[in-house]
Amino acid sequence: MNMNETLTVIKNRRSIRKYKAKQIGDAELQAIVEAALFAPNAMNQQKWHFTVIQDKAMLDRFVSIIKENILNSGIEFLIGLVKNPDYHTFHHAPAVVLITGDEQARFIQIDCGAALQSIALAAESLSIGSCPITSSIFLFASEKGNELKKELGIPDGYNFMCSIALGYKDGEIPATPPRNKGVINYIK
């Protein structure tokens, strides 16, 4: 079977952890984020919200809040990571998208995960790197972080679901890790 463009993009996408300092162009960034709006979502409720942050000082402030919250978490593995002087939650990406969702909406975690995947694939299709950032959940793990919600324009009743770092790739693209094909059953 020949690979079409969509399958090629899916198979080429990698989590990028080294970015050029150059900011993503407005038209490209808008196209990437708007791709999220076309993700499947339960009953077309669209109870998600996307906050695009390109302000380096704000992202650095987020990293210090996340570090503080991780150091207070008691999770040894993560504490070890943030003690590394080179640690930066978003890998110094010039843009980050915070995805939040209505805490009352059914299946909102799945909807926001699908939106994150659409962002990642749209970015890859434009040769822009991305990396889903799970430790960013610690941004809102304290009162200091929760105060950010208003500053960021996150709607009331919406909670953090996930985030994704975006930027132009800098350096080698990681090799494809082995995939476990034994997790698929075909029942005919």
pLDDT in tens, 9-31: 999 999 999 999 999 999 999 99
Q: What's the mean pLDDT in 27-56? A: 97
CATH number of the domain enclosing 19: 3.40.109.10
Strand partners, 169: 19
List b or e across 81-105, with b for residues whose CB sees 16 or more CB atoms inside 10 angstroms. ebeeeebbbbbbbbbbbbbbbbeeb
71: containing domain? 11-170
Indicate whether 6 belongs to any domain. no
For residue 145, tell me if it sits in a domain: yes
Any domain includes 143: yes
Query: Is 121 within the bounds of a domain?
Result: yes
Domain assignment of residue 1, yes or no = no
Give CA–CA dist 36/121, Å, rounded.
Answer: 10
Residue 174 has pLDDT above 70, yes or no: yes
Count: domains in the chain: 1
**Does residue 1 surpass a pLDDT of 70?**
no
Neighbours of 2 (CB within 10 A): 5
Extract long-range pairs of 8-14: CB within 8 Å, 24+ residues apart. Answer: 9/121, 9/124, 9/125, 10/121, 11/176, 12/124, 13/120, 13/121, 13/124, 13/130, 14/129, 14/173, 14/174, 14/176
The 10 Å CB-count burial string (b at 16+, else e) for 9-23 is: beeebbebbbbeeee
- Model confidence pLDDT, tens digit, residues 115-166: 999 999 999 999 999 999 999 999 999 888 778 998 999 999 999 999 999 9
Q: Which residues of 59-77 are buried (b: 16+ CB within 10 A; e: fewer)?
A: beebbebbbbbbeeeeeee
Residue 3 falls within a domain, yes or no? no
Q: pTM, whole model, 2 decimals?
A: 0.94
Q: Residue 45: what residue type? A: Q
DSSP code for 78: H
Residue 81 inside a domain? The answer is: yes
Count CA atoms within 13 Å of residue 57 on its CB side.
Answer: 0
Per DSSP, the three-state class of 89 is coil
Question: Does 177 reside within a domain?
Answer: no
